[in-house]
Amino acid sequence: MRHAVVMVLLTIFLTACGGNQSALNAQGISSTALKDLITVIVSVCGLIWLMVVGCLAWALLRRRSEPAEGQVVDHGLGKAVKLSVAGTTVIIIAFTAASFATTRRLDSASDADIKIVARAQQWWWQFTYQDKNGIWLFQTANELHIPVGQDVRVELEALDVIHSFWIPSLAGKLDMIPGRKNVLTFRADRAGIYRGQCAEFCGLQHSHMAFVVVAENAEEYKKWTIGQIAPASHPPGAEAKAGEAVFMSKPCAACHTIRGTNASGTSGPDLTHVGSRQTLAAGLLDVTRGTLAAWVADPQTIKPGNNMPLVPLTSDELRQVSAYLEGLK
């Protein structure tokens, strides 16, 4: 009985599943095609289940007179088996056709307006924006911006282990495999902020491997790209200035790139405009001066096992570095 109550409550709560990371909240051409397919399959299977349960109940409850001695009873089993086989065949063929048609819809957008290379690694996302000819424009981390209504082509790569690229509200998931390039094309039909998540277990911090997708109108998107293409500013104020000097003199610059400065490391995220991003550590923290300071001060407590080492800083240096990073808009 308790089990049944839990199931009913779960059903009620799950019905409310939605928000910015839900395949049921489809806001793009691919995710809508997938949602339509799964709705058809679940509806047909649900209907069949109801029919089977109904037949079972009818068979159990109906009253039958006892057969007379020696009378041969025809249960109609042969007919039922034939009907089941024919019905199952028709349904499997229909589902296969529907799946094929959906896959065609997913692959239809080939010549995309926006080209991005997404490289997954334990446990963050590197996004490289390219122009139409495949020329490098700029790099960002854990945050994608895309224009509404335009096709986006993402080349999926992985550096270390298998990851999986998934923005449930916008597209189906696709694996990212070391040494292999997979391509996913999708489109957002409505402006909004969506959440992407690694969908393949890839180690200790797999669940903390998320990213933000900002779908915005063409004008805002263009403004954002112009800002991202520009080299880093030198944030005003003595504290930020001192922070820049600390950053460049410590090992930070060996792992991170800040375009327009001497920092040109490539093993960590490009920080040229880190202050303009919404999240830090692949969706784990909101970007504020406080979280930047906390992350630099103790990355292994916040996200155990990640590749960011502890760089010993005095409290003054920590304040200065966080002021500098926050100012990199």
Task: Give the residues lining the site for ligand CUA (CB under 6 A).
Answer: 120, 123, 163, 198, 200-202, 206, 209
Angle at CA of residue 235, ends 230 and 240, nearest 5°: 140
At its nearest, how many Å lie between ligand CUA and the CB of residue 306? 12
Nearest CA to 127 out of 13, 20, 224 is that of 224
Nearest residue (CB) to ligand CUA, 120 versus 293: 120
E runs forming strands in the chain: 114-121, 124-130, 136-141, 143-147, 152-158, 163-165, 174-176, 182-186, 192-197, 210-216, 279-280, 285-286
At its nearest, how many Å lie between ligand CUA and the CB of residue 117? 16
What is the residue type of 292? L
Nearest residue (CB) to ligand CUA, 185 versus 205: 205
Nearest residue (CB) to ligand CUA, 206 versus 319: 206
At its nearest, how many Å lie between ligand CUA and the CB of residue 179? 16
Tally of CA atoms within 13 A in the half-sphere of 106 that contains its CB: 21
At its nearest, how many Å lie between ligand CUA and the CB of residue 200? 5
Token look-up 């003595």 returns 238
In degrees and rounded to multiples of 5, residue 108 shows phi and psi of -70, -35
Nearest residue (CB) to ligand CUA, 284 versus 328: 284
Nearest residue (CB) to ligand CUA, 209 versus 323: 209
At its nearest, how many Å lie between ligand CUA and the CB of residue 136? 24
Number of other residues whose CB lies within 10 A of the CB of residue 85: 10
At its nearest, how many Å lie between ligand CUA and the CB of residue 223? 31
Nearest residue (CB) to ligand CUA, 151 versus 200: 200
* Contact criterion met (CB below 8 Å) for 242 and 314: no
